Amino acid sequence: MPRRTATPPTYDKSRGRWKVTIPASLSPDGKRMRSWHLTREAARTHLDKLTGSPEPSAIIAPRLAMQADEAREILEPWKIGLVDGAKMLARAMEALAGVGSILDAAKLYASQHADRAASKTFGEAIPLFLQTRDGLREDTLRGYKHHLNRVLATLHDRTLSDITSTGIDEVLAPRPPSMRKASQVSLGAFWRWCASPPRQWCKVEVLDALEPVRLSRDTEIQCLTAESARAVLDAAEATSPGCAIGFAVAIFGGVRLRELEKLTWENIGETHIEITALVAKRHARRLIPICPTLKAWFAAHRGDAEADDLVVGPNWVNTSKIARRKAGWDLTTQPPLKNVPPITRGFWPKNVMRHTCASIQVAIGRPLEELTFAFGHSGGSSLLKQHYLAKLTKKEALEILAIGPGGKRIVQHHRR
């Protein structure tokens, strides 16, 4: 016997209304529905919304009724009616666009959901990673913190398993090639640690898909102009005496910024700066001649410093960043400062003061054999020639060498 179906609207004399009755087998929630309406047209409109037909058939095929009943029982545990179930199925099939099945899509989602649930956010994983790197050199550890905490800060709230190589590329793309490469090196160590058992918070394939950064020799070596050198030296003088001397030693002596942190006035002689094995990056002693310009900067800013005092003063890392930022350079490591000029010079080039010093010395004709010892290059004179030859003209070199403290101009007596 066929199941009951929705009947056409009937007039209820006791209520003076038109009655619509929908049996439980056809209602969206599986319960019989009745409603009363002022007009027959309103009743038919309501019936049409529920059944899709203003005049439902009086008879439904037994096979269709059995299938509808079976479908209703299947959907009942999830509290989904037949119509809603059909709509959800139609939307899912439309989204798949013929690629795979709904079951395949559901399994993939469940798998990805499990990965996300077992993963951590980028920001949560950073301190855990850094705890395992306590034995590293201070510079290396500082580099990890800078690149992971600052350069990649926009990824901190994202789950590691959801981050793609495209997403990482978008964050690193605006950075200069040399800085991007440095960021990828730190990211590589961090990402592989996160991907390794027992963590497995991400896939190492994401890291492998990143485009490698290729640097040419020319892009690595950059020099300051006379104008930019004057700007950063002026900013250093405005910051502190130690900061001013630090930048002067870097530009006119070629000492590395990290070596300056350990340099004391005991290392400063009458004619030479001694970079001891304990101070030198490569742990090899070297001597750096003191030119007239550098001597003038010492005289102007040493003050009453004792022999065991640091040449650059305390907190050199921060004061050097402040000076560069005041001069208009972009420093992603520098926290926001008040009353500083806008960024006008781009990113601060790596080792630019040391490169400037070497290029000056080559331009004014200083023998490469002397420079090899003073700069501590393991590649010999051929490496110096490859890096620094013709980077600056003689005129440009002399303009930089003439920059003295407080706007003073220093006359040079160099070899011809």
Q: Where are the alpha helices (DSSP H) in 240-344?
A: 241-253, 257-260, 292-301, 316-326
Query: Looking at residue 139, what is its pLDDT?
Result: 78
> Domain check: are 237 and 272 in the same one?
yes
Residue reference for tokens 């960043």: 321
- The structure tokens listed for 112 are 């990805």
Residue located via tokens 């590395």: 256
Question: Are 181 and 88 within one domain?
Answer: no
pLDDT of residue 41: 85
Q: Are residues 196 and 294 in the same domain?
A: no
Q: Is residue 111 part of a domain?
A: no
Shared domain for 263 and 163, answered yes or no, is no
**CA dist list (Å): 340 to 229, 326, 336, 352:** 18, 5, 9, 22
**Residue range 146-162, pLDDT digits in tens:** 999 999 999 999 999 88
Note whether 246 and 316 are same-domain residues: yes
- Each as own residue / partner, the long-range contacts of residues 370-378 (CB below 8 Å, 24 or more positions apart, any chain) are 373/286, 373/287, 374/254, 374/286, 374/287, 374/288, 374/289, 375/254, 375/286, 376/275, 376/280, 376/281, 376/282, 376/284, 376/286, 378/282
DSSP-H helix ranges across 261-326:
292-301, 316-326
- Report residue 31 as tokens: 């319960």
29 Cβ contact list (under 8 Å, min separation 6): 81
* Co-location of 129 and 207 in the same domain: yes
Residue whose structure tokens are 């005991």? 266
**Tally of structural domains, the chain:** 3
pLDDT at 412: 67
Tell me, yes or no, whether 117 lies in a domain: no
Closest CA to 191 of 173, 168, 213: 168
Task: For residues 403 and 365, state if they share a domain.
Answer: yes
- Residues 234, 340: one domain? yes
Same domain, 201 and 261: no
Whole-number Å distance between alpha carbons of 248 and 232 = 10
Rounded distance, CA 136 to CA 269, Å?
33
Is 241 part of a structural domain of the chain? yes
Q: Is residue 283 part of a domain?
A: yes
**Is residue 20 assigned to a domain?**
yes
Same domain, 230 and 130: no
The CATH number of residue 160's host domain is 1.10.150
- Residue 110 tokens read as 């469940």
Question: What share of residues in the chain are helix, strand, coil (percent, to 5)?
Answer: 55, 5, 40
Closest CA to 288 of 232, 243, 250, 246: 250
Give me the residue label for tokens 């961090």: 190
Domain-embedded: residue 64? yes
Q: What is the pTM of this model?
A: 0.51
Q: Which residues pair with 264 in a beta bridge?
A: 310
3-state secondary structure of 88: helix
Does residue 238 share a domain with residue 145? no
Tokens of 129: 């990673």
What is the Cα–Cα distance from 190 to 124, expressed in whole angstroms?
A: 12
User: What residue numbers bound the domain in which 288 lies?
Assistant: 226-407
3-state secondary structure of 275: strand
Judgement on whether residues 288 and 390 belong to the same structural domain of the protein: yes
Cβ neighbours of residue 83 closer than 8 Å, sequence gap 6 or more: 28
Length of the chain as a residue count: 416
Q: Is residue 35 a contact partner of residue 46, using CB atoms and an 8 Å limit?
A: yes
Residues of the chain with pLDDT under 50: 1-3, 54, 217-218, 334, 378-380, 415-416
- Per DSSP, the residues of 119-150 read --BHHHHHHHHHHTTTTS-HHHHHHHHHIIII
pLDDT score recorded for residue 276: 84
For residue range 114-134, list pLDDT tens digits in order: 555 668 899 999 999 999 987
119 inside domain: no
Q: Is residue 221 included in any domain, yes or no?
A: no
